[in-house]
A and B are shown apart, each in its own frame.
Chain A
Amino acid sequence: MIHARDLTRTFKTKAGPVEAVRGLSLDVAEGELVAFLGPNGAGKSTSVRMLTTLLPLTSGSASVSGHDVVADPAGVRRQIGYVGQGTGSGPYHRVRDELVTQGKAQRMTASAARKRADDLLGMLELDGLADRPCASLSGGQKRRLDVALGLMHTPPILFLDEPSTGLDPHSRANLWDHITSLRKASGMTIFLTTHYLDEADTMAERVMVMDNGIMIADDTPARLKADLAGDTIHVSVLCEDQSGNAAEIAQNLPDARETRVDGRDVAVTLRDGEAVLPEFIRRLHQSGIEAISARVVRPTLDDVFLGLTGRSLREAAA
């Protein structure tokens, strides 16, 4: 559905050239839900805007739904819904008018556009707002309207650039409910960007981690975490003088990567904590070491990002 090869984009600014995207290649299959995760300034929007024909490429090539973004931009535009980072609706325009205009812009007939607008207003819980000026909507309602605008012509591919940024947690959750149920019903391909870790983790089937204009990882959240961060088993032993031995045993566990000792607490990072924990306890027991508590800490995508870049995404995003 989406293919890109060596995409680059350099902006000329007064302070010199900014290499926003530096050699991006990606392939997204039909029906996938992919998240671009990265801190502000990573080049997510620039990439999306190149894929959606809004920004000329500096070099490289890309096609969306079989249409080349440079040679056939109109073909691409017919196939995609684009929800940009900003607010798509005009403040003085009325909600339904904006939807119908969008439908006509996407070559729908006026009657089909009106019907679709009413359907989407219902689906996205915007009924009752149809005749209000868009400026009077709440942040969450505006964002749902943006999504509705993107969905007017039932595009096979939907691009969402930071769909939930700036929303309160409740509105974020609500927006995601809508997006996931719409997707379940339609099988749409969704390509979204976010700098919220939890969102990429829970929503996306596939995460592409972006930093400094390049993609540094691309996999399912589960595999990224297992491969690049791993689980951490924390075990407390009965006597502090046993923790050295315990650490040695931990280091010999299958796939063990890193072991730390802190007083009576021994921590070991490895691939699949839950599967290894019973074996770890058994070996400790065989060596006469008594474990008094044990827990497995699951990694977050932040740990993945930290492992990849040495920086925390939370700091980078701030």
Chain B
Amino acid sequence: MVSLSNHEVGYANLGTTSSFDRLRTRSTDSQDQNMSFLSDTAISFRREIGPTLRSWYYIIFGLVQPLLYLALFVPLLGAIPGPEGTSPLQWFVPGMVVMLVLFTTVSCGWALTEELMSGSFERFLATPMSRPAIMVGRALKELAPLLVQALILIVVATPFGLVLHPLHMLLGLAMLMLFGVGVASLSYALAIASKHDGSLFYLVSHSVALPMMLLGGVLLPMTNAPAWLYIASRFNPLTYLVEAERALFMGEIFVMPVLYGALVAVVVAVAGLAVGVSQVRKASL
């Protein structure tokens, strides 16, 4: 009934690695880990993106969404003057992209809860895969469709007055991806910490994301805000990111807002990953 390959039969020997072999594997460990971070990220990303790419309705909706946003927004923008005589889209599109990234990544821990409970996440933790790579791969899976949507948004907005600054815009998107990896990791950490309690996860993630978005001047400018609100917005990391994106979409690059935004993205990414990995490490799933 069961046929066994040679592979299986010759196996018993593998258990008796010589101490020399053992020493050798140990000494190459750290090097091994650095090299495998990228390939592990790729493994994790490919696993997660598979079902997404096979789901035609996901793809259709994903492609239609940005068009819908523009269709609902562009008519509203007619009366508003854009910055420095440009189209208001130059100001709105970056804000919209930031909003997309924030909301998708903040809630992506949700997708993990199912796997946390079922045991398939644990299965990967029992392999030599790098833990940060498992997280980054998952986060990139959430970010990849956003990247496509952002590109569609930019391309479709061009005929309506958006001026293209391809390199600046790509840099802006890269910065957002970095930020997104950090937020996604924090979201995974929250999912683990709120231990299978979906409503707690939802409550916390949204009570953080929504104020952050409003306070970040993502959709409405903070310049007209009362003093206290403006000051509060200065303590919101998202503010700096949005300002950096707007500068980049205006074609500016060597300006302070871009530097601040880049710093925010890097700090969020590093801190997010650190928190996420430590949660995984001490998680008693």
Contact = CB atoms under 8 A, between A and B. Distances in A.
A93 B7 contact: no
Contacts of B36: 107
Interface stretch (B44-52, B69-77, B252-260): B44-52
Contacts of A53: 126
A258 to B, nearest CB: 44
A104 B46 CA distance: 11
B26, B40, B123, B124: most-surrounded residue (chain A CB, <10 A):
B123
Given A56-B282, A88-B119, A185-B8, A93 B47 contact: yes
Contacts of A107: 36, 128
A86, A122, A182: most-surrounded residue (chain B CB, <10 A):
A86
B14, B114, B127: most-surrounded residue (chain A CB, <10 A):
B127
B128 A123 contact: no
Contacts, number: 135
A72 B25 CA distance: 11
A97 B122 CA distance: 17
A25 interface: no
B9 interface: yes
A206 to B, nearest CB: 17
A102 B127 contact: yes
B12, B26, B36, B128: most-surrounded residue (chain A CB, <10 A):
B128
B123 A102 contact: yes
Interface in B104-137: 114-115, 117-120, 122-129
Contacts of B5: 119, 123
B197 interface: no
Contacts of B114: 91
A14 B235 CA distance: 34
A42 to B, nearest CB: 17
Nearest to B32: A74
A226 interface: no
Nearest to A11: B284
B128 A86 contact: no
A54 B284 CA distance: 8
A30 B282 CA distance: 30
Nearest to A74: B128
B31 interface: no
Interface string B56-88: 000000000000000000000000000000000
Give chain B's interface secondary structure class. helix
Interface residues of B, number: 45
A97 B123 contact: no
A21 B193 CA distance: 23
B131 to A, nearest CB: 10
A278 interface: no
B127 A106 contact: yes
A133 B119 CA distance: 17
A245 interface: no
Nearest to A97: B50
Interface string A123-146: 101000000010000000000000
Interface stretch (A186-194, A260-268, A289-297): A186-194
A86 B118 contact: yes
Interface stretch (A75-83, A165-173, A212-220, A246-254): A75-83
B205 to A, nearest CB: 22
Interface string A89-118: 111111001100110111100000000100
Interface residues of A, number: 57
A186 B12 contact: yes
Contact of B3 (A65, A122, A177): A122
A84 B119 contact: yes
A75 B47 contact: no
Contacts of A11: 284
Interface stretch (A149-157, A197-205, A269-277, A300-308): A149-157
A119 B9 CA distance: 13
A270 B36 CA distance: 60
Contacts of B51: 90, 92-93, 133
Contact of A154 (B14, B19, B117, B120): B14
B16 interface: yes
A119 B7 contact: yes
Interface in B237-268: none
B33 A74 contact: yes
Given A72-B26, A82-B126, A93 B50 contact: yes
Contacts of B120: 86-90
Given A31-B12, A92-B51, A101-B46, A185 B4 contact: yes
24 contacts: A52-B126, A54-B126, A56-B281, A67-B22, A74-B128, A75-B29, A86-B119, A88-B123, A90-B120, A93-B47, A104-B43, A119-B5, A122-B3, A123-B4, A125-B2, A154-B11, A154-B14, A156-B11, A156-B14, A156-B15, A157-B15, A185-B4, A186-B8, A189-B15
Interface of B: 1-5, 7-9, 11-12, 14-17, 19, 22, 25-26, 29, 33, 36, 40, 43, 46-47, 50-51, 114-115, 117-120, 122-129, 281-282, 284-285
For the complex of A and B, 5 pairs with smallest distance between CB atoms: A86-B119, A156-B15, A187-B12, A82-B126, A92-B51
Interface of A: 1, 11, 30-31, 52-56, 65-67, 72, 74-75, 77-78, 80, 82, 84-94, 97-98, 101-102, 104-107, 116, 119, 122-123, 125, 133, 149, 154, 156-157, 177-178, 181-182, 185-189
